[in-house]
A and B are shown apart, each in its own frame.
Chain A
């Protein structure tokens, strides 16, 4: 009974705030919406396999853009193209352009090292380095030549705070990061990505290896990060895309079937294949 009462008392103010938020949200979508990534007829081949076909997508600043689609639809390949990690596969060939803030990322003068500093990445499996928590987070700044201990200390603290894990690890910064739980490791990896102060964070199925509680924490974290960063997230979990993202792109067999506001994709998609996929009827 007590619980129910509490819940009831909470409900009313929540209603008010959601009302305010939606009105603010509407304003936001009208005013900002500055594109951060834009692809123009982007094509990609793995050898003879035409993995991505004529991708035309725009991702906006301070938004979470989700990419969903069945396995092998090219969503991971696409997100890895955004920071050119896809080029680690030797037989990759690309065509068309990807504009990061109106600059083609495939241009000669734009080095991959510079691109990857601005476009950080969080991977499917938590992959901390076999080093201390501190060294993990300080890795990015260090490879970019920051040596001053004071600066590093601050960066490490800020990144860990931003990744919502500072309180859990502040007393054991110099212990091996591999000793943490999977969910903590993944947040360390997010902190590590934040430490280079990127502009965009790419997340390739960031919670697929995590338990539900850790997943919730990472999702909450994404909402926090949205204020300062732009996020592109690939996910197998459609409910996650529905929960966290502002826009959703549905990939199928290497092309974009539908890209729209998440609300539209999950409430009333235009394409029958999108409808079937989001309602779990193929995939």
Chain B
């Protein structure tokens, strides 16, 4: 008894193989689109920036005169910003993820919270800016300080890190968890010695994505009222500050054509700093990386 027509199979084979090839090239082309756009962007920006990118640019404050305009204040300001945002965001979101995955009872309330955190990741950044303005700047009277902006950005990237940390914690095999608990370890010992080290690569990936987003984010800073021209760097988290994306935004708004090139230089610096941060994160991730 033959249910399968062997001739038909042979006839269809070449068609299947061709389609296989077509799909492969289609996917390759799509990948290329992204790559080409990125390269064009970098080349274009770099060609604009090349004449203005020098040590002076990195060490002078902003100025209304093209020849004096520098990025120093913005770089330092952004670093201050990250010093507030990153630790707060990491601590709160990893703790949230751990609670949701390891401690919270599995019930509807927990599910509701999880869904809402995922939804929060999709909220536009400007809305977070408004929240920051109302809560930190006004209600808590922090003004347009590093702390206010940093906390706002931390809130903004929180859901991204929470979601990716949750995924990562969930991917730690339950057998390993059971092994630890089965030996009489407490929940905290299991979490701190087994789960977190194993989940760290995934958590860090989430952090890279989130922090990259935070450092380049403009909208919330605009809402909070971060100044574009400031001739001092902050001394404490309560001082006002400049930020790289804000500075670039301000330069682009300027009428003089040269400021476009200055802005391009700023973009290059921002990209380099982003790249450095990502490399560091990837380095840390590989160091902790484990395979099951």
Minimal beta-carbon separation of A123 from chain B (angstroms)? 6
CB neighbours (8 Å) of A153 from chain B are none
Q: Which residues of A contact B178 (CB under 8 A)?
A: 85, 88, 121, 123, 127
Contact A130 B175 (CB under 8 A): no
Question: Which A residue sits closest to B107, measured CB to CB?
Answer: A90
A143/B181 contact (C-beta < 8 A), A127-B176, A129-B194, A130-B197 known? no
Task: Check A139 against B182 for contact (C-beta < 8 Å).
Answer: no
User: Counting CB contacts under 8 A, is B151 at the interface?
Assistant: no
Contact with B along A109-134 (1 / 0, CB 8 A): 00011111100110101011110000
Query: Does A143 contact B179, Cβ atoms closer than 8 Å?
Result: no
For A196, what are the chain B residues with a Cβ–Cβ distance below 8 Å?
183-184
Report yes or no: A140 in contact with B173, Cβ–Cβ below 8 A.
no
Produce 1/0 per residue, B179-201, CB < 8 A to A: 11111111001000110011000
Most chain B CB within a 10 A radius of its CB, from A90, A112, A143: A143
Number of interface residues of A (CB under 8 A): 28
Asked if B183 and A129 make an inter-chain contact with CB atoms under 8 angstroms apart, the answer reads no
Q: Does B173 contact A193, Cβ atoms closer than 8 Å?
A: no
Set of chain B residues within 8 Å of A121, measured between Cβ atoms: 178-179, 182-183
B180 touching A116 by the CB < 8 A rule?
no
- Docked-complex contact B290 and A120, CB < 8 angstroms: no
Are A85 and B182 in contact, CB atoms less than 8 angstroms apart?
yes
* Residue of B182, B186, B292 most packed against chain A (CB within 10 A): B182
Residues of A within 8 Å of B198, CB to CB, are: 130
| Residues from chain A with Cβ under 8 Å of B184 in the complex | 112-117, 140, 143-144, 196
Please, which residue of chain A has its CB at the minimum distance from the CB of B175? A127
B182 to chain A minimum Cβ distance, whole angstroms, is: 4
- A90 to B173, alpha carbons, bound, how many Å? 18
A125 vs B198: C-alpha distance when bound (angstroms): 18
Q: How far is the CB of B42 from chain A (nearest CB, A)?
A: 38
Q: How far is the CA of A123 from the CA of B290 in the complex (A)?
A: 21
> Does A178 interact with chain B (Cβ within 8 Å)?
yes
Bound state CA distance, A114 and B185, in angstroms?
9
Q: Decide if A120 touches B182 in the complex (CB within 8 Å).
A: yes
B contact residues around A113 at 8 Å (CB): 184-186
CA distance A192 to B181 in the complex (A): 13
Q: When chains A and B are docked, how far (Å) is the Cα of A130 from the Cα of B171?
A: 14
User: Is B185 within 8 A of A143, CB to CB?
Assistant: yes
B183 and A193 form a contact (CB under 8 A): yes
B173 nearest in chain A by CB position: A127
Q: Which residues of B contact A144 (CB under 8 A)?
A: 184
- B67 shortest CB reach to chain A, Å: 56
Q: Does A189 reach chain B (CB closer than 8 Å)?
A: yes
A83 contacts B by Cβ under 8 Å: yes
Find out whether the CB atom of B175 lies under 8 angstroms from the CB atom of A140. no
Cα distance, A120 to B193, chains bound together (Å): 19
Instruction: From the candidates B179, B189, B193, name the one contacting A123 in the complex (CB within 8 A).
Output: B179
A143 touches which one: B189, B197, B290, B291 (CB < 8 A)? B189
Residues of B within 8 A of A143 (CB): 180, 183-186, 189, 193
In chain B, positions 237-292 with a C-beta closer than 8 Å to chain A are 290-292
CB distance from A201 to the nearest CB of B (A): 11
A116/B179 contact (C-beta < 8 A), A143-B193, A178-B290, A178-B291 known: no
Asked if B175 and A123 sit within 8 Å, CB to CB, the answer is: yes
Q: Do A90 and B179 touch (CB < 8 A)?
A: no
A195 to chain B, nearest CB (A): 8
CA distance A143 to B184 in the complex (A): 8
Chain B min CB distance to A27 (Å)? 35
CA distance A140 to B180 in the complex (A): 8
Interchain CB contact under 8 A, B183 and A117: yes
Contact of A192 among B183, B189, B194, B291 (CB under 8 A): B183
What chain A residues lie within 8 Å of B105 (beta carbons)? 90
Interface status of B16 (Cβ within 8 A of chain A)? no
Contacts of B197 in A (CB 8 A): 130
Asked if B106 lies at the interface with its beta carbon under 8 angstroms from chain A, I say: yes
Whether B182 contacts A130 by the Cβ 8 Å rule is no
CB-nearest residue of chain B relative to A91?
B106
Looking at the complex, which one of A112, A117, A140, A178 makes contact with B292 (CB distance below 8 Å)? Answer: A178
Q: Which residues of A contact B176 (CB under 8 A)?
A: 127, 129-130
* In-complex Cβ contact of B183 among A128, A130, A140 (8 A): A140
* Alpha-carbon separation in the docked complex, A125 to B179 (Å): 11
When distances are taken between beta carbons in the complex, the residues of chain B under 8 Å from A120 are 182-183
A143-B184, A143-B186 given; A192·B290 CB < 8 A: no
Question: Can you name 25 A-B residue pairings with CB atoms under 8 Å?
Answer: A83-B182, A90-B105, A113-B185, A115-B184, A116-B181, A116-B182, A116-B183, A120-B182, A123-B175, A127-B175, A129-B180, A129-B194, A130-B176, A130-B290, A139-B180, A139-B183, A139-B193, A143-B180, A143-B184, A143-B189, A144-B184, A178-B290, A193-B182, A193-B183, A196-B184
Inter-chain pairs besides A127-B175, A129-B176, 16 sampled, C-beta below 8 Å: A85-B181, A113-B186, A114-B184, A117-B183, A117-B184, A123-B178, A125-B175, A127-B179, A128-B179, A130-B176, A130-B197, A139-B193, A143-B180, A143-B189, A143-B193, A178-B290
* Top 8 A-B residue pairs of the complex, sorted by shortest distance between their CB atoms: A130-B290, A117-B184, A127-B175, A116-B184, A121-B182, A143-B185, A140-B183, A113-B184
